[in-house]
Amino acid sequence: MAMQKRERRKMIVYLTAFIFVTAAGFLYKMFFDGDVSGFVKGTSVSQPAQESGPVQPETSEAPDVTTVQTTVPAIDVYICGQVNNPGVYSFVSGVILDDVISKAGGLTAAAASDRINLVYIITSNMSVYIPTEEECVSGYNDDSGILRVSGQNSWKNVKDGKDGDASPSGLVNINTAGKDELMSLPGIGEVLASQIISYREEHPFKTVKEICNVSGIGESKYKMIKDLIVCE
């Protein structure tokens, strides 16, 4: 009987040792092979590692380019004097005087219409006074380039320099004209007239374009006077 008990204990010990060794081997294989999905609760099966290679830079879509629309600034022009409907009118910068006069109901019969530069370009807020012919004859002073207040030429008879009514002798000779005659040109005041005279004493004008060499006379002012001057 004692013999049988000993044999039975040995059998249990052997069986237990076998189970232990088998379980240990199985666990060892699972952990060292990296597959523990069956033993760790809540974990997912590991994915095979991707092959290493050059890292491609992330590309982002080009940002949307919003076109910025350039808006022309609005200006206010106060026109009075010899117009039918004096007042303040709004326009876009770059409007010409003819459009302003039209908006104000046109010129009156007494307006010095022949002296008005209808293509004068207005780019900022300003006031425009339209005088009568009598006012111009009496010495009305204007240095804006809008009116020709003295001299034999008017804006009307030298328009674009193509009308045949203008007499060559009526043009201002920038090589010989005195200060008052130079000041009759649109945009030429006392200071500019003096500068023209000082310049020509050292550098007589050979072409009318050379008047742009005088400080204060740029391209825009030259365009206003180029059809009214000569350099004989």
- Tens of pLDDT, residue by residue over 173-182, are 999 988 888 8
Give the pLDDT band of residue 204 (cuts 50, 70, 90): very high
| Six token digits for residue 14 | 């052997």
Give the pLDDT band of residue 167 (cuts 50, 70, 90): very low
Mean pLDDT of 83-96: 93
Q: What is the pLDDT of residue 155?
A: 58
- The amino acid at 76: D
3-class SS at 74?
strand
Cβ(182)–Cβ(196) below 8 Å: yes
Render pLDDT for 111-155 as a digit per residue (tens, 0 to 9).
988 888 888 888 889 889 999 888 877 777 776 778 776 554 555
Q: Would the pLDDT of 101 be above 80?
A: yes
Q: Which one has a higher pLDDT value, 90 or 153?
A: 90
Distance, first Cα to last Cα, the chain: 154
Q: Would the pLDDT of 23 be above 60?
A: yes
Q: What is the pLDDT of residue 16?
A: 80
DSSP 116: B
Q: Would the pLDDT of 165 be above 80?
A: no
Q: What is the pLDDT of residue 74?
A: 92
β-pair partners for 79: 87, 128
Give the pLDDT band of residue 158 (cuts 50, 70, 90): very low
Q: Is 23 exposed, middle or buried (0-12, 13-18, 19+ CB in 10 A)?
A: exposed
Q: Bin 30: left if φ > 0, else alpha if -120 < ψ < 50, else beta.
A: alpha
Q: Would the pLDDT of 156 be above 90?
A: no
Total count of residues recorded for the chain: 232
Q: What are the structural domains, with CATH classification, of the chain? A: 71-148 (3.10.20.600), 150-232 (1.10.150.320)
Cβ(173)–Cβ(232) below 8 Å: yes
Q: Would the pLDDT of 103 be above 50?
A: yes
Where in the chain does DSSP place strands (E)? 74-81, 87-92, 95-96, 121-122, 126-130, 172-173, 229-230
**Nearest CA-CA partner of 208 in 28, 200, 129:** 200
Q: How far apart are CA 177 and CA 7, in angstroms?
A: 146
Distances (CA, A) of 87 to 53, 84, 128, 143: 77, 10, 10, 22
Q: How does the average pLDDT of the chain come out, rounded?
A: 76
**Nearest CA-CA partner of 126 in 101, 89, 73, 72:** 89
Give the pLDDT band of residue 34 (cuts 50, 70, 90): low
Share of the chain above pLDDT 70, in %: 69
Give the pLDDT band of residue 198 (cuts 50, 70, 90): very high
Share of the chain above pLDDT 90, in %: 27
- The amino acid at 27: L
- The amino acid at 41: K
| Six token digits for residue 59 | 């590309």
Q: What is the pLDDT of residue 18?
A: 78
Q: Which one has a higher pLDDT value, 53 or 125?
A: 125
